[in-house]
Amino acid sequence: MTDYSTWYEDLAKPSWTPPGSTIGLIWTLLYPLIAVAAVATVVKVVRGDLGRIVLVPLAINLAANVAFTPIQFGLRNLPLATVDIVVVLLTIAWWAVLVWRPGSQWVSVLLVPYFVWVATATVLQISITLANR
């Protein structure tokens, strides 16, 4: 077991915390949806179907998503990881609202599983942060 795994396993967590393998599987299923939504968004911006403003929440979302693991497991900073995951959650919603246009609604629909999972993960993260103050 790696050092960060031991650290995470030793944290107080709610009883409903999914095992790491389940979390990994969920992300494995979500990343292709996120990638398709991101590429479709960029293509629609390049074609002029969507305004460039939609790239703001997309970029922030991707950066915050990538930053979560180094913050949580590298820095072991639960409060900052909580802020980060809230940013991920809010930018998914912002992104989905901005792409909800005729011909682009399907991109928003692709973001729904991502939003549902991150909302669940946000509640989990807040619970873990509060339990380990």
Alpha carbon separation from 11 to 5, 29, 113 (Å, rounded): 10, 26, 27
pLDDT score, position 40: 98
Residue 56 lies in a domain: yes
pLDDT tens per residue, the chain (133 residues)?
567 778 999 999 999 999 989 999 999 999 999 999 999 999 999 999 999 999 999 999 999 999 999 999 999 999 999 999 999 999 999 999 999 998 999 999 999 999 999 999 999 999 999 999 9
Alpha carbon separation from 24 to 19, 34, 70, 94 (Å, rounded): 9, 15, 16, 25
Domain residue limits at 102 = 19-131
Q: Beta strands of the chain (E only): which ranges?
A: none
Counting the structural domains of the chain, the total is 1
Residue 10 lies in a domain: no
d(CA 24, CA 87): 21
At residue 18, what is the residue type? Answer: P
Residue 6 lies in a domain: no
pLDDT score, position 27: 97
